[in-house]
Structure 1
């Protein structure tokens, strides 16, 4: 039986709980809920091999921010969302040197809107490496940040992971922040949630085209991942809507992905939130108003 498809650790935990016997206990996993800047924050920590096997994800910390207020365009939602992303990312970066170069890698295909989160994020990320080196009298207090829009294999002839690895060898960053689109099991989480983790990322997750992973093992430095679910697998969605445990046979439609009709505006909004959030985490002395000025 094919499993419901999701890239969110929170949903993997929910699926395990739905399929497990009532007396079963999820071993090797810890979970807790908080709020940050008024947004629901749900954390899943995979502690050991038991948790990895149960949820099908590598050990580490996964934080899911739910941003319904942003989708409704509530007053003040954008700066709160950016600060929430920045705060959780800064927490995940605990132990990473706070002065070394940070490399932001946007993964995905700009030509495919649901997969364009990564390429668009770098447009809203404050890059400072060149400024720190060339104008130290004004930018010497900033952390050096470089940003890379890696493209896709079909357009560049290079795996995103190969390109990121080559850049890491040249620049020797203290950490990498990788951004990509993800897949959810639920319509209610599409473009409503942001997942952050300290485990790295596999490019192409959101469009079902898993490639070379970007993680500490492949790049040699800590890799923080930021992802937004922009698609739902059609068979997974059908099973949820029908209330079935098994995925229905969809024939030729088994490879379909479903995405919101206003995906273009939602991707633009979330790319800006994530870009600002990353910049706030890397430059803790700045606020949203400062970024508005510096990125305008």
Structure 2
């Protein structure tokens, strides 16, 4: 059977439903839909081992925010997107304690630059609180790390983050990275938030050691933006839609891991990195968006 690739729990659930009989019930998984700030949000909870095996994802909570209408640029589209992402993240993370935000990826490769670009929009306060505790008493301590990639640093992201976690001792880590989607329509149009950690490089087909509670010793919350679609997965979906018969996975993949992205990926990644960065600020600090603009300018 052709294995379609996705990093989104929402799509993994869709794929399971497509392959199962209509009367078959997915055990160990619960899903619900709502709206926040006008943007649809789908929550998928993988409750036990059965659900984890069915979807190929770790147990935990996965929140997918549909930002498709963000690109229509309607009234307050940016502010609403920030509050939607920030509100969902805030409901998931602990209310207190210092935080380490990790921007994963390669800023020299646009589809993989979500993490590093997001880090540039996060309000860094740890050093300010340490130097001027009275003036910054109302802020939560936040530190930021851009890990780079193994090819340019010689250091695995997990190794770099583990060392910094031991030194900074955060209450939890927020890791931001690029993901791969099954559907072209979800590329740069969704944000996935989870409490299960993340495998760096998954979005560009270069899986590295995972960042999670087991490897770092603290809770790890992942924020991911799908920036690519696996070319073979896209081709398989198109062939199925056209009524093609059995699909030869080996021929489709052709021995190369090709990825597809949008033609304006550079602008879309920049915009969404700002949404995610401001959303993290919204979740961690008691600030309005205008105040973030002033502090980050």
CA distance in 2, matches of 1:112, 1:2: 29
User: 1:124 aligns to what SS in structure 2?
Assistant: coil
CA distance in 2, matches of 1:222, 1:6: 23
Shift, 1:250, TM fit: 2.7
Q: What's 1:99 paired with?
A: 96
- Contact kept, 8 Å, 1:65 with 1:193, in 2: the verdict is yes
Alignment of 1:196 with 2:198, yes or no, is: no
Instruction: Report the CA distance shift for 1:163/1:154 in structure 2 as closer, same or farther (over 3 A).
Output: same
Alignment of 1:65 with 2:65, yes or no, is: yes
Alignment of 1:240 with 2:237, yes or no, is: yes
Q: Where do 5+ consecutive residues of structure 1 fail to align?
A: none
Alignment of 1:156 with 2:153, yes or no, is: yes
Alignment of 1:218 with 2:215, yes or no, is: yes
Report runs of 4+ in structure 1 exceeding 3 Å deviation.
244-248, 251-254
User: 2:18 aligns to what SS in structure 1?
Assistant: helix
**Residues 7-86 of structure 1 aligned to structure 2 (within 5 Å):** 7-86=7-86
Q: Deviations over 1:253-293 (max 9, x none)?
A: 7411000000000000000000000011011x211111011
Shift, 1:22, TM fit: 1.4
Q: What's 1:170 paired with?
A: 167
Shift, 1:141, TM fit: 1.2
- Contact kept, 8 Å, 1:67 with 1:192, in 2: the verdict is yes
The alignment yields a C-alpha RMSD, in angstroms, of 1.2
Alignment of 1:294 with 2:281, yes or no, is: no
Q: What's 1:125 paired with?
A: 122
User: 1:137 aligns to what SS in structure 2?
Assistant: coil
Shift, 1:69, TM fit: 2.0
User: After the TM superposition, which of the residue ranges 134-143 and 215-224 deviates more from structure 2?
Assistant: 134-143
Shift, 1:91, TM fit: 0.9
- Contact kept, 8 Å, 1:99 with 1:144, in 2: the verdict is no
Shift, 1:72, TM fit: 2.0
Shift, 1:246, TM fit: 3.9
CA distance in 2, matches of 1:146, 1:4: 37
User: 2:134 aligns to what SS in structure 1?
Assistant: helix
Shift, 1:59, TM fit: 0.2
Q: Where do 5+ consecutive residues of structure 2 fail to align?
A: none
User: After the TM superposition, which of the residue ranges 128-137 and 6-15 deviates more from structure 2?
Assistant: 128-137
- Contact kept, 8 Å, 2:147 with 2:157, in 1: the verdict is yes
- Contact kept, 8 Å, 1:4 with 1:247, in 2: the verdict is no
| TM-score, L = length of structure 2 | 0.96
Q: Deviations over 1:128-173 (max 9, x none)?
A: 0011111122111100000000000000000000000000000100
- Contact kept, 8 Å, 1:201 with 1:213, in 2: the verdict is yes
Q: Deviations over 1:50-98 (max 9, x none)?
A: 00010000000000000122122222110100111110001111xx2x3
Shift, 1:214, TM fit: 0.4
CA distance in 1, matches of 2:256, 2:165: 38
CA distance in 1, matches of 2:77, 2:260: 26
CA distance in 1, matches of 2:91, 2:138: 21
CA distance in 1, matches of 2:109, 2:176: 15
- Contact kept, 8 Å, 1:235 with 1:254, in 2: the verdict is no
- Contact kept, 8 Å, 2:101 with 2:119, in 1: the verdict is yes
